Each structure stands twice: as structure tokens, then as C-alpha cells.
Chain A
Amino acid sequence: MNDHKFYFHGEGAKLFGIVIVNLLLTLLTLGLYYPWAKAAILQYMYKETELSGSRFTFHGTGKEMFKGFIKAVGIFVVIYGVLFGLTYLEMPVLGMIFFYLAIFGLLPFVIHGSMRYRLSRSSWKGIHFGYRGDLKEFSKKYYKDVLFSILTLGIYGAWMTMNIRKYTVSHSRYGDVKFDFHGEGGRYFGILVGGYILSIITLGIYSFWWMKDLINYYYNNIEMDQNGTKIPFKSTIKGDGLFGLMIVNFLIVFFTLGLGAPWAQVRTMKYLCNHLFIGGEFDANAVTQTEEEYKDATGEDLGDMLDIGII
């Protein structure tokens, strides 16, 4: 059985065309165009990504994301309003405490909302992805983990990251295909610490191999379950490959003063797609539609404002 291969068909010049229009309209509308800009980019990136001969589709629209954007802006205005109000009342410390608590408190909602929206609006071969996590259950786990992380001075953070991934991945679906994640905090912690130390010793050169380890650890631990058949995810990303990719990308972006970023992005997508596989056990023709439609993008937009890439 041959593995299922990804392929990215995007072109730098085309992505640049979309990016440049997005930037212009976002500037001219003082930022209000942002949701449409994002939709255009996502639609392009998805439809140029192929798995086993079929393209992905992003169904989200600017209008949907604009609604979420407005709600997200509202939430931020309130948070900043309280921060400034408390500063005005000469209680800046209380203001900062409130601010960070609010941001931390929002994170489970952001992760949950983004997963639901993004997966529901993604499809392949006419079958939609979906997220079945429960916000309450997830929040409890999350707050507990945050508390542990604080108590252990951040060490538990590695376990927390794995727990979040385990929860989000194992509640993700592609039609009737389930996902699972087998990463463990201890192993992940080892990679984090070992990579950090080696990167310092090698003056940063090892960081590319470190990055490779992190990506591979994440990807190789994902497994699909199709009616009881376990299907592994496989990554063949190498440190020297990432090294070459990132150095050239840096040069492209640097010497074009940033305007070349779309070409760098396309190179990255092509590299990733060329090195990621899904086990051949997966029967791509036997998946049934099971997931509901979900169009609320508030979590996704909040995530953008907090600048966390979730997916």
C-alpha cells in the first residue's frame, strides 16, 4: 500500500497578488478588511494543497469571520477599557492583573472556538472536518494545567502542551475518521530541554534539528482511526532540509524588504507537503459525512488578536 502524499501547487507570484490586495484594502479600511483578507489567503492555500489527487477546500468567508472579528474586537475593547479604567483610578497593578487573567481565561475559549470553526470549514473530497471537544471539560483541564505549570515554575508546561494537543487532536474528526495523539509530556520535555541546550552549545545551528524534532514529534504521534484500522502519520522532515529552507527564506524576505514573504511561504508549504505522509491503510474513498456545520469565527478571530497560531 502506498502512503498518501501531499502536494502544494501554490505559486509565489499568485500568493503575492492576493497578499498585496489584502494589504492595500486592509490599510485603506483601517483594518476592517482583515477578515476578508484572511479568508482569501486561507481559501488559496487550501485549494492549492492536494492529498492523493484531491484538493482541500476552505469554506469560511470574510463575512463570517467579520462577525467573529467584531465580537472579538468588542471583547478586547472591554478588557482594555477595564485596564485603562483601573490605571486611571490609580490602580495600575490591579489593572494588569485583571488584564492577564482575562487573556489567560479566554485562551480555552479561543482554542476551542478556533478548532471548531476552522475544522468545520475545512473539507476534502466533499467531507468536512469537525471538532467535538467540550468547552467545559477542556477549560477545567486547561486551568488545572496552568496552575500546575505555575506551581512547577513552568516545567509542567511541556506536559500541558501535550495535554492540550492530545485533547484537541483526539476530538478532531474527518467525517467518521477519528484522530488521536500519542505524544507524552516526558518525551516532549526531553526534546525541549535537549534541543535548547544543544542549540546554545552550537550557537544556534542545532536549532534547525531541534525544530525538526519538534515538528516530527508532533506529526508522527498523530494517528487516524478508520473503522478500527489505525493509520499512522509519517514525517520525513530533516534538519538539513529545514536549514536550507529557512536560510533561503530568510534571504528572500530580507533582500526584498519583506515583499518576498509569499515566495518564502510557498517554499515552506512545498517543503512540508513533500515530507508529510499519511499511511496507505487509509481508504480515502470510504469516509462518510458526519460532522455538523459551524460558522461562528469568534474564537478564531480572538486567536488572531492574541497572535497564537493554533492550527
Chain B
Amino acid sequence: MNYNNIIYYNGKSSASHKAELSLLKDGITINFIDQNHLRSTTWKSQHIHKPEMSGGNILTLRYGDSFPYQSIEIKDRVLAKKILNDYNLNTKSKKYDFFLENGIKGVAIGSVIFIGVFLLFYKIILPNLALAAASTVPISYEEKIGKTFKNSLISEREIDSVKTKALTRFFKSLDFESPYNLDFTVVKSPIQNAFATPGGNIVIFSKIIEEMECPEELAALIGHELTHVNERHSTKAIFRSLANYLALSVILNDINGITAVILDNANTINELSFSRELEEEADKKALEYLYQSNINPNGMVSLMEQLDALSNGTDIPEFLSTHPITENRISFSKNYIMERGSSKNYVTPNWHDSWKILKTPSDYSNTIEEKIIKIFKMAKTK
């Protein structure tokens, strides 16, 4: 043996000592050169730490019960292998070695497995976990949060208290069911919009009702928003995006972003944009409500067609930006009605008085929207 391939560190100083080894039955004797003197120390094999391989050719062994530890670096592959064998030491890590040892094949297999597992999580496991988590949120919490959000969303707008009362009466006449204490609000706004926040708060903008042709359309709109409430769509959406975020953050190593998600979700509620499946569910359930109360379900179709027609004009109602009306949704409603059939004697609930109030045109000159439009017009003419 020579002194070229092994370096010994005593753990007290950084001095590199050239060394050679004699392998004993129950240990290793290290003969090293210290300032031109030959010295030696013996390691008992049971106190040698788990060895470490660097770059595939340097074996590092550490020794000792207490800090600081002695160590040797062995740059001789044959000797390294013999030591690992003789002393039953193992550098292997079962988890990592398959990929480390299989080069490009490992990369390919690893990529495929990872993408598969990730999709499984992202598409199946996380959505279901999110649903389960959403169902644990108590109604009382939803009501409180929903109210806070509702108030902040309409804080800039004027509540039309007469129409709000009328809408509440209108809803009562429909006889739709809900486990929530529903709270209806009509805000004065030239924008055509409507939304629901968790816990039973439904806000409808006055203009969207004014543009409707028949009360059945309003019944359909209420049915749609009511489904968002009853089926807890906001809560589900929040948990869903939180779960998706967690999956991504695991990959991007960023847990702080959770804060961002929570803040961002104030936004999601703000925009109230649900996924397509949730919107479709809301349409379907709304039709079911109409059937249950024996109200003409074609109100749904005409509501959508009217909003769809509007979207072709210049003046895009805000409702569409959050509830995009697609051909699919219209034909879904039509098909649903075809399948369930239509009756000749639909009831007309006692909604005439409230409907009349809701249809009264409002004066929008003092709303923020009109002010903004004015500013734009002024800028344009200049």
C-alpha cells in the first residue's frame, strides 16, 4: 500500500494527513503521517458511521461517538469496495439508487412515473380531498364569512331597499328549498350582474332584472344562484384551489404562497367565477327547482338567450364574464326540458306585485358606473 489515495482528518484540525490502512477483523488501523512522523489510530468497526460516496469514487468514513468526528477519504475504488464488503457497510439508499444508477433510462422512467402520479393527485385525489374538507366547514362559519364578503363587495354600491324587499317576497312565492337563511339584496347598478356568497347571500343587480322579459327568467336566475349557495360552490372552489396550490407548492417548494392563495381567494369570491362543472350543476339544479315548483322552465332558456344576445352587442353584461353563456349551456337547458317534457298548466306564483316593483326602471345617474363612463367619455372627446 502507498499513502497516495487516503487522507485522514483527526476532527480537531483541518490538516490533511496522508494515510494507509490495515484492515483488521473488527476494525481499521489508520497509519498516517503527521508532521513527518508516522502515527496510527484504530477504529472499531461498530463505531464507524454510515459511509458516504461522493462523485461515485470517493468514499468518506466518519468515526466516533461524540462530536467532533474523525474521518478518512478513500480515493481508491477497489479498496473502497473491499472495505464496504468486509465491514458490511452500506452507502446505498434504496429510495434514490435506482434512479441514480440508471442514467438516462432512470430519467425517462422517473419522468413518466412522476407525471402519472402527479396527474392522479391533481385530477382525482386532491379534488376529492378538497370536497371532503369543504363539507367539514360549518354553515355558521360560511354565513359569517359570506356576509363579510357580501358587504365588502357591495360597499361601493347603493342598496335598493324597496326592490330588496320585493325580491325577498318574489323568492318566497317561488317555494324553492334551502337549508340556509337566505339574504337577498338588490343593488342599484346599470351593470347586468348577479352573484352569491357562501352562507346564503344572493345579490342581484337591478339592471339585469329590468332587462328581463318575464318573471320566469328571474326565477331561473334565482335558482341558479341558489344552487351556488345550497351546493356550497364557493367553499368547494376555495378548497379546490387551495388543494391545487398545495400540490404545486410541493413541487415549487413554496409554502408561503398559501397566504397568497387565501388573499387571492378573496378575489375568487369577488369574481365568483366557478369552474364549468359547477356552473352546469347550477343550471341543472335551477331547472329542477323550476320543475319542482311547476314554473315554466323555459324561463331558463330565454334568460340565457337574452344574455347571450347582449354579449354580441358592445355592452357586455358583467354576468357573462363570470357566467359565460355558451352554446353548450343553452342546448343543455333545451335538452333537459325536452327530456323532462313540458306541461300545459304551469302555475303562476303570486309574484305580480313584487315583479312590478323589480321591473321599475331606476335612475342610474349617481352610480359609480355612470361616473366612470362619464370620465371615459370626457377623455374620449378630449
Chain A interfacial positions (CB closer than 8 Å to B): 9, 13-14, 16-18, 20-21, 23-28, 31, 34, 40, 43, 47-48, 54-55, 57, 87-88, 90, 92, 99, 124-128, 175, 258-259, 284-289, 292-293, 304-307
- The size class of the interface chain B forms with chain A is 35 or more
- Report the bound CA distance from A16 to B99 in whole Å: 8
Q: Which residue among B11, B54, B99, B111 has the maximum number of chain A CB atoms within 10 Å of its CB?
A: B54
B121 contacts A27, C-beta separation under 8 Å: yes
A20 contacts B110, C-beta separation under 8 Å: yes
A57 contacts B114, C-beta separation under 8 Å: no
Give 29 pairs: A residue, B residue, CB < 8 Å, sorted on A.
A9-B54, A9-B55, A13-B103, A17-B100, A17-B102, A20-B110, A21-B95, A28-B117, A31-B246, A48-B54, A55-B55, A55-B60, A57-B52, A87-B148, A126-B9, A126-B14, A126-B68, A126-B70, A128-B67, A175-B13, A285-B15, A287-B13, A288-B14, A293-B67, A304-B253, A305-B255, A305-B256, A306-B256, A307-B256
- Report the bound CA distance from A25 to B250 in whole Å: 10
Shortest CB–CB separation between residue B324 and chain A, in angstroms? 28
Known A-B contacts A9-B54, A307-B257; the reply to A17 vs B96 at CB < 8 A is yes
- Which residues of chain B are within 8 angstroms of A40 by Cβ–Cβ distance? 93, 96
B107 contacts A13, C-beta separation under 8 Å: yes
B68 contacts A128, C-beta separation under 8 Å: yes
B320 contacts partner chain A, Cβ-Cβ < 8 Å = no
Shortest CB–CB separation between residue A97 and chain B, in angstroms? 14
A24 contacts B250, C-beta separation under 8 Å: no
CB < 8 Å neighbour of B14 from A57, A92, A287: A287
Closest to A284 in B: B14
- Which residues of chain A are within 8 angstroms of B60 by Cβ–Cβ distance? 47, 55, 57
B14 contacts A285, C-beta separation under 8 Å: yes
B111 contacts A20, C-beta separation under 8 Å: yes
- Report the bound CA distance from A305 to B145 in whole Å: 26
- Which residues of chain A are within 8 angstroms of B15 by Cβ–Cβ distance? 285-286
A47 contacts B52, C-beta separation under 8 Å: yes
B58 contacts partner chain A, Cβ-Cβ < 8 Å = yes
- Report the bound CA distance from A55 to B56 in whole Å: 13
- Report the bound CA distance from A13 to B13 in whole Å: 35
- Which residues of chain B are within 8 angstroms of A20 by Cβ–Cβ distance? 99, 110-111, 113-114
B99 contacts A17, C-beta separation under 8 Å: yes
B141 contacts partner chain A, Cβ-Cβ < 8 Å = yes
- Report the bound CA distance from A13 to B105 in whole Å: 10
A54 contacts B16, C-beta separation under 8 Å: yes
- Which residues of chain A are within 8 angstroms of B13 by Cβ–Cβ distance? 127, 175, 285-289
- Report the bound CA distance from A259 to B112 in whole Å: 11
Shortest CB–CB separation between residue A72 and chain B, in angstroms? 9
Known A-B contacts A289-B12, A306-B256; the reply to A27 vs B99 at CB < 8 A is no
A26 contacts B14, C-beta separation under 8 Å: no
One digit per residue, 1 when the CB lies within 8 angstroms of any chain A CB and 0 when it does not, for chain B 236-260 equals 0000000000110011011111010
Q: Which residue among A92, A126, A128, A293 has the maximum number of chain B CB atoms within 10 Å of its CB?
A: A126
- Report the bound CA distance from A55 to B15 in whole Å: 14
- Report the bound CA distance from A306 to B100 in whole Å: 31
B106 contacts partner chain A, Cβ-Cβ < 8 Å = yes
Shortest CB–CB separation between residue B120 and chain A, in angstroms? 9
- Report the bound CA distance from A280 to B168 in whole Å: 84
- Which residues of chain A are within 8 angstroms of B117 by Cβ–Cβ distance? 24, 27-28
- Report the bound CA distance from A92 to B12 in whole Å: 56
| Given contact pairs A13-B104, A27-B117, A54-B7, a sample of 7 additional A-B residue pairs in the complex whose CB atoms are under 8 Å apart | A17-B99, A18-B96, A24-B114, A27-B121, A43-B52, A285-B14, A307-B257
B255 contacts A90, C-beta separation under 8 Å: no
- Report the bound CA distance from A99 to B258 in whole Å: 13
- Report the bound CA distance from A259 to B9 in whole Å: 39
Known A-B contacts A13-B104, A126-B68; the reply to A25 vs B144 at CB < 8 A is no
- Which residues of chain B are within 8 angstroms of A31 by Cβ–Cβ distance? 246, 250
- Which residues of chain B are within 8 angstroms of A9 by Cβ–Cβ distance? 54-55
- Which residues of chain A are within 8 angstroms of B113 by Cβ–Cβ distance? 20, 24
- Which residues of chain B are within 8 angstroms of A26 by Cβ–Cβ distance? 250
Closest to A90 in B: B148
Closest to B66 in A: A293
One digit per residue, 1 when the CB lies within 8 angstroms of any chain A CB and 0 when it does not, for chain B 141-154 equals 10011001000000
- Which residues of chain A are within 8 angstroms of B351 by Cβ–Cβ distance? none
CB < 8 Å neighbour of B54 from A18, A55, A286: A55
- Which residues of chain B are within 8 angstroms of A88 by Cβ–Cβ distance? 141, 144-145
255-305 of chain B: CB within 8 A of chain A: 255-257, 259
B322 contacts partner chain A, Cβ-Cβ < 8 Å = no
- Which residues of chain A are within 8 angstroms of B332 by Cβ–Cβ distance? none
CB < 8 Å neighbour of A289 from B7, B11, B93: B11
- Report the bound CA distance from A46 to B93 in whole Å: 17
- Report the bound CA distance from A252 to B357 in whole Å: 63
- Which residues of chain B are within 8 angstroms of A126 by Cβ–Cβ distance? 9-11, 14, 68-71
